[in-house]
Amino acid sequence: MQEFLAFLADQWILVAVFIVVLAMLINSYLAPVLSGVTLIKPQQAVELINREEALVVDVRSENEFHNGHIVNARHIPLEFLEQRIDQLTQNKTLPVILVCASGERSRPAGSTLRKHGFERVYNLSGGVMAWQHANLPLSKKR
């Protein structure tokens, strides 16, 4: 035990880096679970849209949205979501699918919706890139 403690004392920088990396890994796996936002694949999103009339909310920038978006998606850029949340409140019981380019920007949007009482919040894993990779259609209509 003394040797182990001596190692920790001698290699404190290495130990600190290990702890930080471990914390980041744990956070990356637990954050989606603890937030109440479910990660879904593009095919699951299609099923929710078709079977349960899920609302798709695209949180990308204006330019990204106009370059191609999921048909009938509502565009609310992430930086305006808090201010424009009232545009979605009539849909609190419907499934809401959040979309961005890769699935990272839509994660905090999911936490925002959960905080405002939305019950069924989903994050499209891989975002629009995964949607395109699955050969699903995008619209360029405004």
Q: Is 124 tagged catalytic?
A: no
Going by C-alpha positions, the residue among 60, 140, 58 that lies closest to residue 96 is 58
**Contact partners, residue 104, CB within 8 Å, separation at least 6:** 127
Give per-residue pLDDT as tens, 42-67: 999 999 999 999 999 999 999 999 99
Q: Provide the pLDDT confidence category of residue 1 given band limits of 50, 70 and 90.
A: confident
Q: Where are the domains of the chain?
A: 1-34, 36-133
- For the segment 18-28, the average pLDDT, to the nearest whole number, is 87
Task: Calculate helix-pair angle for 12-35, 2-10, nearest 10 degrees.
Answer: 90
Q: What pTM was estimated for this model as a whole?
A: 0.79
> For residues 28 and 84, what is the distance between their CA atoms, to the nearest angstrom?
28
Q: Given a cut of 70, is residue 34 above it in pLDDT? A: no
> For residues 78 and 47, what is the distance between their CA atoms, to the nearest angstrom?
25
- For the segment 70-93, the average pLDDT, to the nearest whole number, is 92
Q: Supply the DSSP symbol for 119.
A: S
Q: Provide the pLDDT confidence category of residue 24 given band limits of 50, 70 and 90.
A: confident
> Residue type for 111, please?
S
CATH number corresponding to 36-133: 3.40.250.10
- In the set 45, 76, 100, 128, the catalytic residue is 100
Q: Which of 5-19, 27-41, 95-109, 113-127 has the lowest average pLDDT?
A: 27-41
